[in-house]
């Protein structure tokens, strides 16, 4: 599968800005370490930092990846690249202003931020939605993208309600319930469903895995996309049976996704795993931990804020952020290589894609980030500010190593 040349600038600008937000989020973790250790997830600064990751890193990379994936996997180039750039130029500054506005409790910044973020999301979603009907095949990847962008639209609506509530308090005691729904719709419905869909194509390709049973993706999508509204209904109407049914469906969905990933990893042609696939495997481990904590969160109910915080932190940073870094290691050096060296093949010595960065440094990065997230989880669980701070520092060190790798990639790698 070769990259789509015309989509490289669009993907590149999204990926570049996403990395800036990843660094900002990692610095922000140090700032909110005391809040995390207390489980004070409703503090505005926690929500501010969370959105540096969720909007700035996760959503921005997904948009960038979609512009590459749509032509290559579905045979349908994005309907309007110009709209893609317009979405970028509204969403990219909007994510930062929104996060700063929420974190610093500044109504003006929040308003400007959500206007720009909302515009960027609507432009990107309508662009992708109008591209989907032109796809060659309507397979599970197509369905996952369609479902995920629907969940993103719901995320935006719920986010706007929560933001308005911060201003007016109009939903009063329902705030925590709406917050729980928002974050599950966003993390599971938008980010995880998209991850399940694109992995169906990318994992076998990156692992050189042939002949795996591929039916688990569809099952994962069915369980996850029915689990989210079921859980949301249970939380909203405070109906325990519905909440447990929702959790059960989500657990099944995650189990099917893990089973699918295992099937791909098992039949891979090359036994040694490259660094991108190691990141992805580690992320799947963190996703499992978060999935195990989910039922505990529901069972113990309110009043265990540190458990709630650890559950989200491990799922978000370990399960999603790390997984995206793994895919980034596979996609970005390849795009950079194609953009820089495609015309030089056979004329002079050019580095291989693997030589664009240092695998050893990437392994150190994985160690730092993996142990950082573990310490964050443990520190939050035991209420230790010092351990949370150590975790945040390790996480930041890993992110800075990642940046040094990407700078090297941008300059053409080692030669
Ligand atoms: C699309 C635009 C979005 C808007 C307008 C928005 C808005 C908000 C607001 C206002 C809060 C704070 C609520 C409160 O404290 O009462 C919040 C919390 C949260 N949001 Fe979003 N959000 C958006 C997207 C996302 C996405 C894409 C994700 C995840 C992938 C996400 C994950 C979260 C999480 C985990 C929290 C809880 C943070 C905390 O309080 O500790 N959000 N969101």
pLDDT in tens, 277-289: 999 999 999 999 9
- The answer to whether 368 touches 355, Cβ cutoff 8 Å, is no
The residue whose C-alpha atom lies closest to atom 41 belonging to ligand 1 is: 41
C-alpha 79 – ligand 1 centre gap (Å): 29
Query: 114 or 355, which is more confident?
Result: 114
C-alpha atoms less than 13 angstroms from C-alpha of 35 in its C-beta half-sphere: 18
Is the pLDDT confidence value at 413 over 80?
no
223-241: b (≥16 Cβ within 10 Å) or e? bbbbbbbbbbebbeeeeee
Please give the structure tokens belonging to residue 40.
Answer: 């004070």
- At 414, the pLDDT band (50, 70, 90 cuts) reads low
C-alpha 223 – ligand 1 centre gap (Å): 23
Lowest model confidence (mean pLDDT) among 166-170, 183-187, 345-349: 345-349
C-alpha 46 – ligand 1 centre gap (Å): 10
C-alpha 93 – ligand 1 centre gap (Å): 17
pLDDT of 380 reads 98
The residue whose C-alpha atom lies closest to atom 39 belonging to ligand 1 is: 47
Atom of ligand 1 nearest to the CA of 50: 38
Is the pLDDT confidence value at 235 over 70?
yes
- The answer to whether 307 touches 300, Cβ cutoff 8 Å, is yes
C-alpha 180 – ligand 1 centre gap (Å): 9
The residue whose C-alpha atom lies closest to atom 43 belonging to ligand 1 is: 159
Is the pLDDT confidence value at 415 over 70?
no
Atom of ligand 1 nearest to the CA of 175: 16
Pocket-forming residues, ligand 1, beta carbon under 6 Å: 41-42, 46-47, 50-51, 54-55, 58-59, 102, 114, 117, 121, 155-156, 159-160, 162-163, 166, 175, 179, 182-183, 186-187, 190-191, 312
Taking the C-alpha atoms of 264, 265, 271 and 274 in order, what is their torsion angle to the nearest 10 degrees? Answer: 110
Separation between Cα atoms, residue 87 and residue 293, nearest integer Å: 36
The residue whose C-alpha atom lies closest to atom 38 belonging to ligand 1 is: 47
pLDDT of 401 reads 98
Please state, as a whole number, how many other Cβ atoms lie within 10 Å of the Cβ of residue 222.
15
Tell me the average pLDDT across 48-59: 98
C-alpha 159 – ligand 1 centre gap (Å): 6
- The answer to whether 7 touches 64, Cβ cutoff 8 Å, is no
pLDDT tens, residue by residue, 63-104: 999 999 999 889 899 999 999 999 999 999 999 999 999 999
Is the pLDDT confidence value at 269 over 80?
yes
C-alpha 183 – ligand 1 centre gap (Å): 6
Tell me the average pLDDT across 7-13: 92
pLDDT of 2 reads 67
Separation between Cα atoms, residue 278 and residue 323, nearest integer Å: 9
Assign 268 to helix, strand or coil: strand
Tell me the average pLDDT across 191-213: 97
**CA of residue 189 relative to chain centroid, distance:** 11
pLDDT of 236 reads 97
């Amino acid at each position: 599968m070769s990259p789509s040349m015309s989509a490289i600038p669009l993907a590149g600008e999204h990926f570049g800005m996403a990395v800036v937000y990843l660094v900002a989020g990692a610095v922000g973790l140090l700032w909110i370490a005391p809040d995390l250790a207390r489980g004070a997830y409703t503090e505005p600064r926690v929500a501010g930092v969370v959105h540096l990751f969720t909007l700035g890193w996760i959503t921005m990379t997904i948009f960038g990846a979609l512009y590459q994936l749509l032509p290559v996997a579905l045979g349908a180039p994005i309907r309007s690249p110009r709209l893609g750039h317009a979405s970028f130029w509204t969403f990219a500054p909007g994510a930062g202003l929104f996060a700063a506005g929420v974190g610093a409790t500044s109504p003006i910044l929040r308003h400007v931020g959500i206007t720009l973020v909302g515009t960027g999301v609507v432009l990107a979603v309508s662009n992708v939605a109008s591209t989907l009907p032109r796809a060659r095949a309507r397979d599970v990847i197509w369905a996952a993208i369609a479902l995920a962008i629907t969940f993103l639209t719901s995320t935006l609506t719920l986010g706007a309600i929560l933001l308005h509530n911060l201003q007016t308090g109009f939903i009063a005691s329902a705030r925590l319930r709406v917050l729980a729904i928002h974050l599950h719709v966003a993390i599971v419905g938008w980010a995880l469903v998209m991850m399940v869909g694109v992995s169906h194509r990318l994992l076998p390709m990156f692992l050189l895995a042939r002949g795996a049973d591929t039916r688990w993706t569809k099952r994962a999508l069915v369980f996850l996309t029915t689990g989210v509204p079921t859980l949301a209904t249970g939380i909203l109407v405070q109906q325990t049976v519905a909440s447990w049914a929702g959790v059960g469906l989500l657990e099944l969905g995650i189990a099917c996704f893990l089973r699918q990933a295992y099937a791909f990893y098992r039949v891979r042609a090359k036994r040694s795993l490259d660094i991108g696939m190691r990141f992805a495997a580690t992320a799947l481990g963190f996703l499992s931990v978060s999935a195990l904590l989910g039922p505990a969160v529901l069972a113990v109910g309110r009043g265990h804020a540190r458990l709630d915080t650890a559950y989200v932190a491990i799922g978000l940073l370990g399960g999603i952020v790390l997984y995206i870094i793994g895919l980034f290691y596979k996609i970005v050096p390849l795009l950079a290589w194609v953009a820089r060296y495609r015309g030089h093949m056979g004329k002079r010595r050019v580095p291989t894609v693997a030589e664009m960065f240092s695998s050893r440094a990437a392994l150190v990065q994985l160690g730092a980030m993996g142990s950082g997230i573990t310490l964050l989880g443990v520190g939050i669980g035991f209420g230790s500010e010092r351990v949370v701070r150590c975790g945040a520092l390790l996480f930041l060190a890993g992110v800075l190593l990642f940046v040094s790798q990407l700078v090297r990639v941008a300059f053409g790698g080692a030669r």
